[in-house]
A and B are shown apart, each in its own frame.
Chain A
Amino acid sequence: METLKQELKENIVEQLNLEDIAVEDINDNDILFGDGLGLDSIDALELIVMLDKNYGIKLSDPKEGRAIFESIEVLAKYISEHRTK
């Protein structure tokens, strides 16, 4: 699980071009959207594509993302339970 969390942090920083944020700045329970890390709706789409491409998880209902993308902790737990690759 720790390896997956680290991988997610690295992917988020790289794929979302978080220029002023380093991987070590992101805590497992930081809120990713809104006042937390400041991600927005376009980032949500990027994360949905990342789930599909990297872990074989298809989110058919975008509203699911609201809960799944709450934090690295929650996201990692969801991926480990649902991943197909």
Chain B
Amino acid sequence: MKTVYINSVCSISSQKTFDNSEFLDEIIYHEDNLIPVVNPNYKDYISPSESRRMAKGVKMGVAASKIALKDANLDTVDAIITGTGMGCLRDSEKFLGALIDNDEQFLTPTSFIQSTHNTVGGQIALNLQCKGYNFTYVHSSISFESTVLDAKLMLENNEANTILIGGVDEIGDYTAKLHQIINHIKAEKTSTSELLNSKTEGAVFSEGANFFVLSNEKQTSSYAEIIAISTYNTLGNSKISDLAKSFLDENNLDIDAIDMVVLGNNGDVTFDGFYNELSSGLFKNTQQVYYKHLCGEFMTASSFGVWLASKILKTQKLPEIVKLNNLKDSNFKTILLYNQYRGENHSFTLLRKC
């Protein structure tokens, strides 16, 4: 089987991360329960005639894909695999809103066409004129992990040499209100620096697009090697520590081999216990990193974690803002990522310096 490398990255998030020459050099401190992304100038990546029908998520996805391809020094790829938990929410809300407002009359086609979950993958393919494998995973908070798994299997088996993968989700105003009503979004505004001390229900929501070019051929500019990924819809009677241990065993690694663990804590007092179990138990002597205080929570927020880990492995720099403890500040070789959302869809991802 071939080895799988992350050859390029691009993140559009609520931090200024789309510029690959920087790495969290300037932190934007938010104080809200719904935080916006820092937009690149989309006109640099998408022509006005193309962008006029694109909602935010599509624009983020297309722009991120172009930056990732440029970072990999490629014009196109063999396959495109996208992950989205909620799809194109804004156009879905627009279409369904019009359906109700106009008593099922006068339905316009644009928002309906653009509301499908695979709109981002389709628009990227049109843009690149890529007629290869194109797939969109809509698996809640393991949508992005599903893209990684699919791409990894294809590359390992040499079914493709370069694959663009990405996770993208956008905020929809109406859906956000529903999430607030059911306390999935925090009732109170929360500051970036105080997220994990909030001790309240819900998360700070956001949106974003994180794209990567994966390949079975290493480049001098490669960021990391993807060793393994596993997802678990529910834990059953297992403890997360046991699953973590089993995952490492399957990959012939012990705890000491992990230089850093990247955790998806989102400050939700009801569900952060899964992360706390790992950080105070198995990995209490491991450098711990978190990131959702920077990018917010969304169904594919874990792709920001992979962006962060990739940048750390390539640059060997650990920004102060992401440290949960202070045990190691150099020589990062192997990073374990763990994410879950509301006690479901747990995932472990293992990256290695290359």
Contact = CB atoms under 8 A, between A and B. Distances in A.
Interface string A15-58: 11111100000000000000000100010011001001100000
Nearest to A21: B48
B237 interface: no
Contact of B52 (A18, A45, A49, A53): A18
Interface residues of A, number: 13
Contacts of A45: 108-109
Interface string B81-113: 000000000000000000000100111111001
B244 to A, nearest CB: 47
B110 A42 contact: yes
Contacts of B252: none
Among A15, A19, A46: residue with most chain B CB under 10 A: A19
B48 A19 contact: yes
Contact of A19 (B52, B107, B110, B113): B52
B49 interface: yes
A20 B42 CA distance: 13
Contacts, number: 28
Interface residues of B, number: 13
B177 interface: no
B109 A46 contact: yes
Contact of A42 (B48, B105, B113): B113
A18 B52 CA distance: 6
Contacts of A38: 49
Contacts of A18: 52
A61 B23 CA distance: 57
Contacts of B48: 19-20
A45 to B, nearest CB: 5
Given A42-B113, A53-B102, A19 B108 contact: no
A18 B109 CA distance: 16
Interface in B110-154: 110, 113
B49 A53 contact: no
A29 B271 CA distance: 62
Contacts of B49: 38
The 9 A-B pairs at the shortest CB distance, nearest first, are namely A17-B52, A53-B106, A20-B48, A45-B109, A19-B48, A49-B108, A19-B52, A46-B108, A49-B106
Interface of A: 15-20, 38, 42, 45-46, 49, 52-53
Interface of B: 48-49, 51-53, 102, 105-110, 113
